[in-house]
Amino acid sequence: MMTGRSAFVVGVAESDLGVTPDHTPLSLQAQAALRALDECGLSLDDVDALFTAGDWARHPTATLAEYLGVVPRWTDTTNIGGASFEAHVGHAAAGIELGLFDVALITYGSTQRSQGQRRKPRPVEYGTQFDQVAGLPVPVGAYALAASRHMHEFGTTPEQLAEVAVSAREWALLNPVAYRKTPLTIDDVLNSKPICEPLHLLDCCLITDGGGALVVAAGDRLAGVRTRPVEVLGHGEASTHYGITQMPDLVTTAAARSGEDALRRAKINLDDLDVVQIYDSFTITVLLTLEALGFCKPGDAGDFVADGRTRPGGAFPMNTSGGGLSYCHPGMFGIYLVIEAVRQLRGDCGQRQVPGAQTALVNGTGGNLSSTSTVILGTG
């Protein structure tokens, strides 16, 4: 039975970020969940749907529900890598519209920096058994291959890729909880050690610990909510492949479809957006996503980000938290894209606030450029 209710993000929070050796993925999620609920005046007793993703438990939502002491009537462990949490927001909004539950809690937590999970070899999977001997480290190698193709087809330069990292750092300098706090130049990026050509160390996201939480509530459950509600206006998601050998076109991501779906459902045009948060696992991810979403023509993203356009004070404010490149990146960054977008739409961003921001686009990308999910948020 459809209720037609709108869904609103009412609570957002990070856990402690950076290096958190005294935490587990569960304790980080609990910390972030309590902070997000506390800021909006709801409690764990109000939560009747639970969303999380990660490889820290065999049954993540059941484990987390037990740990938090909640009994959800709906759970969702959709895992499409870093795009999972945009998908969770979309799924939560759909469930609220259907009347399946009233208050969804979406969480994430990782201690990958303290526990060194990043360095452990991944177990072989069916598709990777055939080419693991090539020795391509993933995901970075997959993104490097896409970058090589973008440079080949369109003449994109290492300097244009580096601008994405420099822009992120400029924003991070305005974010008190950002991990990187020193200025960065294009030359710094180009002179950092090569990881997988053409990507350098500073073309790659951080490796940090951290957790995050979002509280999504039905429009008829906002009485007493202390924060300014941010409406979920639209959502889309798409997966085009998993391994990089199977990507249909190395320079077109699934955001071409997830973005179109999200914008259509939100009845929003790209011109209506005030701020965008685009998953920056690697600098190339941002260029590919800008093109796939239609902010510029295929091949033009390198020029699009030039001249400080996406930096503080630029015409196209993007990744205003400092992004996965400079703010934090505990394995999957998707939840932080939503946290920052909501804070921008509330006007809570202090020095890095985009004046008068009312509509935001968030785009997560997961796997080997495999899956995307796009969410449109608004307060207008």
Alpha carbon dihedral 305, 373, 13, 359, in 10-degree steps, equals 60
By CB under 8 A, is residue 288 in contact with another protein? no
Q: Which is nearer to another protein, 257 or 311 (CB)?
A: 257
> Of the candidates 133, 176, 315, 356, which one interacts with another protein according to CB under 8 A?
133
67 is catalytic: no
By CB under 8 A, is residue 223 in contact with another protein? no
> Of the candidates 193, 271, 315, 355, which one interacts with another protein according to CB under 8 A?
193
Q: Which is nearer to another protein, 121 or 355 (CB)?
A: 121
**Footprint on residues 102-131 left by another protein (CB under 8 A):** 119, 121, 123-127, 129-131
By CB under 8 A, is residue 240 in contact with another protein? yes
Contact status, residue 85 vs residue 107, Cβ threshold 8 Å: no
108 is catalytic: no
Stretch of residues binding another protein (CB under 8 A), selected from 50-58, 64-72, 237-245, 309-317 = 237-245
Shortest distance in whole angstroms from residue 114 CB to another protein: 19
By CB under 8 A, is residue 196 in contact with another protein? yes
Stretch of residues binding another protein (CB under 8 A), selected from 21-29, 61-69, 194-202, 273-281 = 194-202
3-state secondary structure the chain: CCCCCCEEEEEEEECCCECCCCCCHHHHHHHHHHHHHHHHCCCHHHCCEEEECCCCCCCHHHHHHHHHCCCCCEEECCCECECHHHHHHHHHHHHHHHCCCCEEEEEEEECHHHHCHHHCCCCCCCHHHHCHHHCCCCCHHHHHHHHHHHHHHHCCCHHHHHHHHHHHHHHHCCCCCCCCCCCCCHHHHHHCCEEECCEEHHHECCCCEEEEEEEEEEHHHCCCCCCCCEEEEEEEEEECCCCHHHCCCCCCCCHHHHHHHHHHHHCCCHHHCCEEEECCCEHHHHHHHHHHHCCCCCCCHHHHCHHHCCCCCCCCCECCCCHHHHCCCCCCCHHHHHHHHHHHHHCCCHHHCCCCCCEEEEEEEECCCCEEEEEEEECC
By CB under 8 A, is residue 139 in contact with another protein? no
Phi-psi group of 160: left, alpha or beta (phi > 0 → left; psi -120 to 50 → alpha; rest → beta): alpha
By CB under 8 A, is residue 302 in contact with another protein? no
By CB under 8 A, is residue 367 in contact with another protein? no
By CB under 8 A, is residue 157 in contact with another protein? no
Q: Which is nearer to another protein, 143 or 333 (CB)?
A: 143
By CB under 8 A, is residue 21 in contact with another protein? no
> Of the candidates 54, 90, 109, 141, which one interacts with another protein according to CB under 8 A?
141
Give the contacts of 185 (CB within 8 A, at least 6 positions apart).
166
By CB under 8 A, is residue 161 in contact with another protein? no
Q: Which is nearer to another protein, 58 or 119 (CB)?
A: 119
Q: Which is nearer to another protein, 157 or 245 (CB)?
A: 245
Shortest distance in whole angstroms from residue 326 CB to another protein: 20
Q: Which is nearer to another protein, 45 or 125 (CB)?
A: 125
> Of the candidates 59, 152, 226, 297, which one interacts with another protein according to CB under 8 A?
152
Residues 143, 179, 279, 336: which is the catalytic one? 279
By CB under 8 A, is residue 136 in contact with another protein? yes
Question: Applying CB under 8 A, what is the total number of residues that bind another protein?
Answer: 40
User: Cα separations (Å) of 50 from 68, 74, 95, 102, 232?
Assistant: 10, 6, 11, 11, 17
Stretch of residues binding another protein (CB under 8 A), selected from 2-10, 71-79, 245-253, 286-294 = 245-253
Contact status, residue 318 vs residue 325, Cβ threshold 8 Å: no
C-alpha neighbours within 13 Å on the C-beta side of residue 200 = 18
By CB under 8 A, is residue 99 in contact with another protein? no
By CB under 8 A, is residue 191 in contact with another protein? no
**Which residues contact another protein by CB under 8 A?**
119, 121, 123-127, 129-137, 140-141, 144-146, 148-149, 152, 193-199, 240, 243-246, 248-250, 252
Catalytic residues, by residue number, are: 279, 327
